[in-house]
Structure 1
Amino acid sequence: MNKAKPYPDKILFDYGKQRTFTQDNNLQIALPIGGLGAGMICLNGYGGLQDFAIRNHPATSATPDGHGTTDAAFATLHIKGKKTITKLVEGPMPPEKIYNMGTKGQGFREGGFEGLPRFKNVNFQGEYPFGKVTLKDPNVPLQVNITGFNPFIPLDDENSSLPCAILEYTLTNRSQNKVDYDFAYHVSHLAAGVGNSKNSRNTPLSGGVYFHNTEHPNDESYGSATLTAIDHKPKTKAMWFRGGWFDSISALWREVSTGTFKTNAGNDSEELQGRNGGSIQLSGSLKKGESITYPILITWHFPNCHYTNPRPNNDSDDNTCCDANPSPPWRPFYAGIWNNAAEVATYIHKNYTSLRSRTQAFHDALFSSTVPNYVIDSVSANLGILKSPTFLRQENGNAWAWEGCFVENGCCAGSCTHVWNYAQAFPHLYPNIERSLREQELERTMDKYGHVTFRSALPDGDVGHGYHAASDGQLGGIMKVYREWQISGDLEWLKKMYPLAKRSLNYCIKAWDPDHKGILIEPHHNTYDIEFWGADGMCSSIYLGALAAFVQMARDVGKPNEAPFYEALGKKGAAYLDKHLFNGEYYYQKVQYKGLHNQSFAKYVAKVNRNSGEVDKLLKKEGPKYQYGTGCISDGVIGAWMAKIYDIPTAQNRIRTRRTLKAIFQHNFRHDLSDHACTQRPGYANGTDPGLLLCSWPHGNKPTLPFVYSDEVWTGIEYQVASHLIEEGLIKEGLTIVKAVRSRHNGRSRNPWNEYECGNYYARALASYAVLNSLAGFNYSRAKKTLSLSPKLQNKRFRTFISTATGFGTLTLTKTQLTIDMIEGELEVEKLSITGKRVKLAKPIHATAGKRAIVKL
């Protein structure tokens, strides 16, 4: 029997600098740079750009070679003088990428620049939203530092949604002599249209090049892009040499490597066939020790989105099937603000100083938190999911999301409720966006009976209701209505949502607890893509949380008379859990199919006889497939976790919840998975990797066919458990799990900025944000104007980043005082609790940006 122990203190309490990646550990790095719902480009581990997912769908570089070329953006540096030298401003390409298991069997025919001479040494450091690359070469007198980012400003969703990538190139003279140089940046035509290079157009733009096309204005490929230098006036080549084969890059390299860069206005090509692109060049001189920074800006704008969910029927009567150029069903959020990429570029040029400094201020506040370095690493790294193609946003501001991303398509549509249940960053950093998801669930995907379809429509609209509701997703959504109310303090919004939440909850009771036992017992669908039959601890814990949340909401909207039934049901369910589903160590499931209202399985197996097939005989022997039974499931008390971090007073037994958490760590955490058998999807954690299994059966009785992902390791569930362990005082156990997750994402085997599950940039990993708040013991209710801070780490001076609906900043706690520093916005507090004790306030606290509040303790 596995009995895991936490890592030693020396490993767990590391407050040093963030990791630096070099050599083999640069292989998988791809840090997302893009806007909320606006697409992204990734900065890779050796200083280049890849994964141009800028056209409203995922796009990664992990595709086989073809006869054509791919999107490209790259910098070159030419050192002038007697001994000239020219380099691609990137580090060595990892050798594993060259052949890449045969996908590059044509010789790596991608951007066309990959074979150019490179810097010899590179290291990468990521502190999201910034990615930083350092390039050195003994034969190059200039060191190059690259900082890539997109504006990330909590609460300012408009400026955080800019469709752009910003790359700051800092050149520093490390030699003893003055150095003359040409620095150039080159971008292929990012808006060339589809399959017709004659439609691409290039126009000089102040500071660079404007790329656009002559496709129909409703076409999905219609759009634009720009390449510019901020606060500098470069020479501009608005159009590359147009020819076949490798002509464009060959001609371009000849110019930059010989110091003969030729400018043009984009209209002097002999013909429009062939590969297209544009370049800018900046020349200068640096004396010994001098530096200069060139901010390079790439913007994009593709206003037409033709993907819908569900897909329209072929017999649609809206005439789109017969229209060669139908209007797009929806447009991205940024398309309602800017008309093209040039407007985006102009806006950023005018506001660059502010956008840069505000993003830096957010970064500095987050990374000033006095928690172990790998905790901030996990919290910050997964914020990239918000900037990835996983998240989409419509022109009206409403959110919609995938679960994750495959190579060229999204994975698992519809803002899946039971996956986004785990995500905790949006409600704190961009609460208005998160509220749109609650409205999506209850206003547009719920029918008159209360059935919530757990995959929503895109664009906004009705959905079908012919499939299971997801018990964990629907009940979790009710808890999140309460969370959003506490964060926003918007009572009118709560009054609007309250009757909808009531309808949803009543549906859940009727569907899964028709006998009012306070427990989910009828077959109930869940995040493991199957139905649990019989009473189970996991989903029932969310049920208890939803009942408790509704009781609080009923009182808050002035309808306390509607609370008693649900309150009594919650207490009844908590007693049932303790009496029937607790084995002394943890809560489990009692698989049941007889005696239920749903008799479908019982009737089916009643027909099984000795002539039946092996599948039917197995069902007759063990009951429904895909259960966990007496297993110790890591999600076993997830509802109690949600209740804890949302500050909902659930009736679930806290002592037994803590025992369950302790058992989950002891039985499910593995320091080494070498002897663990996984026939499912082992790529998330395998071999010598550490990780928390989704489930184990420490006392035997594992079903022949347990729930389908049971032997896997998912980071979102690891963070959920880690946060809950910390909340319940099992701090070292929680930190051990977080440390294990980040050790697996080491840059060589996995990307540190992409904790994938069923697809890249998987939403469930956003549970990592909760770990920071749990370590801080932080909770703020704008509705009540109450602030609680109860740090779990014994630091003499504890600091944590906070973000609320009205502002973001830091809290700093010592033995004698609490200091509130708001970087933007404000924070109002009427009731204060420190380490569980009420602090008497002479008057309410009102901290604002630039005016800190100090409370003597």
Structure 2
Amino acid sequence: RIYRGAHLDAISFTVGGIGTGCIQMNGKAERAIWQIFNNFDGGPLPNSFFAMAAEAPGKEPVVRVLQTTPAGPFPPMQDLSFRGEYPFAWYTLHDKESSVTVALEAYNPFIPLDAKNSAIPCAIFNITLENTAKHPVTGAILALQQNAVGYDGTSPILANRNRGYGGNRNRILREGPATLLRMTADIPLTAPTWGDMVLFTPEVATAIPGVANLQAARDALVAALNEPPAIPHDEAGPSPAGQTLDGAIIVPFRMRPDERRTVSFVLTWSFPNARHGGEIAGWEHTGNMYHNWWQDALDVAKYLLANLPKIEHDTRLYHDLFYQTNLPWWLKDRITSQTAILRSKTCFWAADGYFGAWEGCQPNGGCCAGNCTHVWHYAQAHARLFPSIARRMREETFAYQKPDGSLPHRHPSLPPAFDGQCGDLLGAYREHLCSPDGAWLAALWPKVRKAMEHTISHWDPDEDGVLAGAQWNTLDGELGGSTSWMGTLYLAALEACARMAELNGDTASASRYRRIRASGAIRQNQTLWNGEYYIQIPDPQPRQDYGTGCEIDQVLGEWWARQVGIPNAYPVERVRSALKSLIRYNFQPDFHGITQVPRKFVADDDAGMQMITWPHGPRPVPTILYGDEVMTGFEYSAAGAMLQHGLLREALMVIHAVSNRYDGRKRTNLTPGGFASWGYSGNPFGDDECGKFYARAMSIWSALLAAQGFVYDGPEGTIGFQPVWQPHQHVSFFTAAEGWGVFRQNRSGGVQRSKIELAWGKLFLRSVLLQLPRAQIRRQPQVLLNRRPIPAEAHSSGETLIIHLKTPITMEAGSSIEIVVS
């Protein structure tokens, strides 16, 4: 998608590492919001931009700031277009007075399974220039940067003045050919604002430690067209109290006609004295994880100078392979765009290793504290891309387990939420599947078993598989009685725990859990099915119920189950009917005349799927909260379930409606406040719910898993693909425990070719699962490892083909395994 005009108004693209803070770039190519100072309040940092001067023979130089808003004496570029495929942002800037076209790329390293190199406190900018004239052009690129050490991230900055500034120092350093501008300040090491920043380019350049003002910066840029300006000193400062310094790096260039040239700049930062969390007593952590790896911003810069070629290669490899996926372009953008949430202030990574998670972001703080389990269990992207982070989050929750086995729905000690409790049990199984061996689960299993026992004894004491009593949940209320929403989560958690029990030699618990699941599947279907969809049977005591309503999460447990290889507990045709009912009753082509309370997230002209409707009767009183709202994380999980159950058109319609709502146009007149969308919406990179960059939206990753029919068990060495999207010609990106790559499948001329290409890391394999078309003649397949036959045995179960390798293998990056069935 190319964003232009009004579609640029809501762009806010996060550039920064996981848990490092970020810089948000807007649709004008401005670095509009700076959140690298352990701050939520964000605004622009003055005198921090890129500019260009270009001179044709016999003409006056054209000077422009590389954005569409002016910066003092620097006029803006006339217009731009934007393309974002996370983690990359690309701006193409145009100005009719210049023959040099400019493309600005911004990103931070993002490498699946490599959490450290995806958590580097830096922003990387590549400026690509092209001379479109028939004559040579002389020019220079200016990177101007304010030394913001001492800034608290909240108080106003006027030019170079702020109450926290003073004693700021800039120093020019050389590391081989690289030119570095290091920014520090004379403040105590224990001060909250202590730290440093480094701006560098990997090539020889002119660096100015102290730039008096913007006019002086412009003069230096123009002077560099003829010869490098004389810089008498490599240091500047200390600055007076209340003031700081601006520094600059200038890279000259000369280009022949049609020549292209790329100039790179990297900004690194380190502000280690962070205080995270709050809002809930006991949920406070200090420091930043990145400070355990790099002692300061200069250390980060040196690390990148030594390692950036490999890190950039791997980041581009991930992007390029993901975008080889042949899903619709807008769906690929939806899936990748929500990973921006991991780089937002929704997440922090403390010095003690604690990975902290708000639900979303308010304007001046996190929104809803405590690693909320009933929200984060929807999120799937982080667990597939960074399994080590997911395991860490699971360990954190189980570390706060209470003596009765319950898990707090908010760290450290809030009471359990039923959906969050089941989500943690299912998450534990997912994290095991995404591990290279069973050691992690073996250590956690006693706590997992204790949590399952609490779930049974507290909500299903008669062990018939039907829930009763108050069930606090993600709609911030106590649901009562039996529902398919909570019921399917319970049944999925029972089977997940049964499997984990077997893996740890506890066959008695496994048998008991499966007996309860079997009973619950029968009883729930007998009592909750109304012929179209699943309803609620409330407790005698009214709670925050929905009764006969058609609820968006009514088969949420089946969605979860399919992602971890657990078969349906409910009849497939009933599940399909329930999901079709969501389209019939809950999906709205627009919201004119439709009430959205208590919060309005969708503009009247846009489409979306409401949480609950009551097509067959009045809503109960009291009723469940948020039933009239529209929230993307729920829409994505429902659409994922539709894909899992073969409802492709319905699923794509739901997700496409969300894509259209977040198309870069700014929707206003929505519910204001930090617990909503702040009154506006439309940013493609991080959806709204209870705040911006809301974690539940990472449920969209389930659409990829469902489309490719992904099956995976890392310790067992099993991987499978049973695509529902274009099985005759399918390409999709996948991640495993220790590696990632692309799956390709082609069916033509009576032959099915299925190929797993490993691009990064390694992949342990014992068996491969594939799906065959109904008309397929099943013969012994040919299995090729790097084009050479290897011995294997195969058998079919229905339409599933199971290939067992006679000798397990460990694939390395660059290798492939292909299965050919004639």
| 2:417 maps to 1:448 | no
1:95-114 → structure 2 map (5 Å cutoff)? 113=71
Aligned residue in 2 for 1:6: none
Aligned partners of 2:471 and 2:296: how far apart in 1? 47
Alignment-derived partner of residue 186 in structure 1:
144
User: For residues 721-778 of structure 1, what are the alpha-carbon distances to aligned partners after superposition, in whole Å with 9 as ceiling and x for unaligned?
Assistant: 1111010011110111111111111111211112111111111111111101111111
Q: 2:34 aligns with which of 52, 60, 65?
A: 52
- 1:52–1:71 contact (8 Å) kept in structure 2: no
| Residue ranges of structure 2 left out of the alignment (5+ in a row) | 153-162, 667-681, 772-798
Offset of 1:806 from its aligned partner? 1.4
Map Cα deviations across residues 810-850 of structure 1 (whole Å, 9 max, x no partner): 11112332222111112232222211422445644543212
- Aligned partner of residue 490 in structure 1, secondary structure: coil
Aligned to 2:443: 496
Alignment of 1:397-796 (within 5 A): 397-443=353-399, 445-456=400-411, 463-464=412-413, 467-594=414-541, 623-624=542-543, 626-649=544-567, 651-682=569-600, 684-703=601-620, 706-749=623-666, 750-794=682-726, 796=728
1:498-520 Cα distance to aligned partner (Å, 9 max, x none): 11112112222232223333222
CA deviation vs aligned residue, 1:189-216 (integer Å, no higher than 9, x gap)? 1323452322322222331311112222
| Residue in structure 2 matched with residue 99 of structure 1 by the alignment | none
Structure 1 residues 798 and 425: alpha-carbon distance in aligned structure 2, compared to 1, 3 A threshold: same
- What amino acid does structure 2 have at the position aligned with 1:666? R
* 2:605 counterpart letter in structure 1: T
Q: CA deviation at 1:627?
A: 2.2
1:330 aligned onto 2:286: yes
Alpha-carbon offset, residue 250 of structure 1: 4.5
Q: 1:72 to 1:471 in 2, by over 3 A?
A: farther
Pick the aligned partner of 1:74 from 38, 42, 49. Answer: 49
- After TM superposition, the score normalised by the length of structure 2 is 0.88
SS at match of 1:629: coil
Match of 2:164 in 1: 196
2:762 maps to a residue whose letter is: E
Whole-angstrom distance in 1 between the partners of 2:339 and 2:616: 39
8 Å contact from structure 1 (residues 428, 804) kept in 2: yes
- Matched to 2:205, the amino acid is P
Task: Report deviation, 1:329.
Answer: 5.0
Mapped partners of 1:31, 1:251: distance in 2: 31
Structure 2 residue matching 1:826: 3-state secondary structure: strand
Change in Cα spacing, 1:49 to 1:814, as seen in structure 2 (3 Å) is: same
- CA displacement at 1:389 relative to structure 2: 1.5
- Give 1:775's aligned amino acid: A
| Unmatched runs of 5 consecutive residues or more in structure 1 | 1-18, 62-68, 94-111, 242-247, 317-327, 457-462, 595-622
Q: Matched residues in 1 for 2:485 and 2:242: separation?
A: 60
Q: Report 1:149-164 matches (<5 A).
A: 149-164=107-122
Q: Which has the higher contact order (CA 8 A, sep 6+)?
A: 1
Q: Distance in 2 between matches of 1:420 and 1:516?
A: 28
Instruction: Describe the superposition over 1:668-719 as per-residue Cα deviations: whole angstroms up to 9, x where unpaired.
Output: 111212231113221x212110111111111131245532211111111111
Aligned to 2:783: none
Tell me which amino acid in the other structure corresponds to 1:239: G
Q: Deviation at 1:265?
A: 2.8
TM-score by length of 1: 0.85
Say whether the 8 Å CA contact 1:821–1:848 is kept in structure 2: no
Q: Percent identity?
A: 29
Cα deviation 1:583-627 (Å, max 9, x = unaligned): 111111123244xxxxxxxxxxxxxxxxxxxxxxxxxxxx43x32
Q: Does 1:20 align with 2:2?
A: yes
CA contact 1:301–1:335 (8 Å) conserved in 2: yes
**What's the CA shift string for 1:55-84, capped at 9, x where partnerless?**
2343433xxxxxxx7455211112236433
How many residues align? The count is 755
Q: Which moved more, 1:650-659 or 1:355-364?
A: 650-659
Return closer, same or farther for 1:441/1:236 CA change in 2, 3 Å cut-off: same
Q: Partners of 2:770 and 2:238 in 1: how far apart?
A: 70
**2:802 is the counterpart of 1:847:** no
CA distance in 1 between counterparts of 2:510 and 2:73 reads 69
| 1:812 paired residue number | 744
The partner residue of 1:827 within 763, 767, 770 is: 763
Matched, 1:92 2:68: yes
Label 1:703 to 1:89 Cα distance change in 2 as closer, same or farther (>3 A): farther
Judging by fraction of residues, say which structure has more strand.
2
What is the identity, as a one-letter code, of the residue corresponding to 1:736? Answer: M
The equivalent residue for 1:837 is: 800
8 A Cα contact 1:78 1:181, kept in partner:
yes
Say whether residues 1:233 and 2:204 are aligned partners: yes
Residues 208, 238 of structure 1: 8 Å contact kept: no
Q: Secondary structure of 1:508's partner?
A: helix
Partner Cα distance (2:620, 2:205) in 1: 67
Partners of 2:539 and 2:580 in 1: how far apart?
A: 27
Secondary structure in structure 2 of the residue aligned to 1:280: strand
Which position in structure 1 is the counterpart of 2:787?
none
Specify whether residues 213 and 840 from structure 1 end up closer, same or farther in structure 2 by C-alpha distance, changes over 3 A only.
same
Instruction: Encode CA deviations 1:543-580: one digit per residue, 9 max, x unaligned.
Output: 11111111111111111012222222222222221122
Deviation at 1:347, TM superposition (A): 0.8
- Could you tell me how far apart the structure 1 residues matched to 2:428 and 2:292 are? 28
Partners of 2:136 and 2:726 lie apart in 1 by 52
Q: CA deviation at 1:338?
A: 0.6
What amino acid does structure 1 have at the position aligned with 2:111?
Answer: I
Closer/same/farther in 2, CA of residues 507 and 528 from structure 1, 3 Å limit? same
What is the DSSP-based 3-state SS (H/G/I as helix, E as strand, rest coil) of the residue aligned with 1:126?
strand
CA distance in 1, matches of 2:336, 2:275: 32
What amino acid maps onto 1:641 in structure 2? W
Pairing partner for 1:295 from 249, 261, 264: 264
Alignment pair present for 1:390 and 2:337: no
The 8 Å contact of residues 192 and 201 in structure 1, kept in 2 or not, is answered as no
Instruction: Provide closer, same or farther for how the CA distance between residues 267 and 367 of structure 1 changes in structure 2, counting only shifts above 3 A.
Output: same
How many Å apart are 1:383 and its aligned residue?
A: 1.2
- 2:329 corresponds in structure 1 to 373
Task: Report matched runs for 1:258-297 at 5 Å.
Answer: 263=231, 264-267=233-236, 271=240, 273-297=242-266
TM-aligned CA distance change 1:196 to 1:484, over 3 Å: closer
CA positional deviation for 1:416 = 0.8
Which residue number in structure 2 is paired with residue 213 of structure 1?
185
Alignment partner, residue 33 of structure 1: 15
Cα deviation digits, residues 151-195 of structure 1 (max 9, x gap):
111111111110000010011111121111121011111323452
- Code of the residue aligned with 1:501 in structure 2: it is V
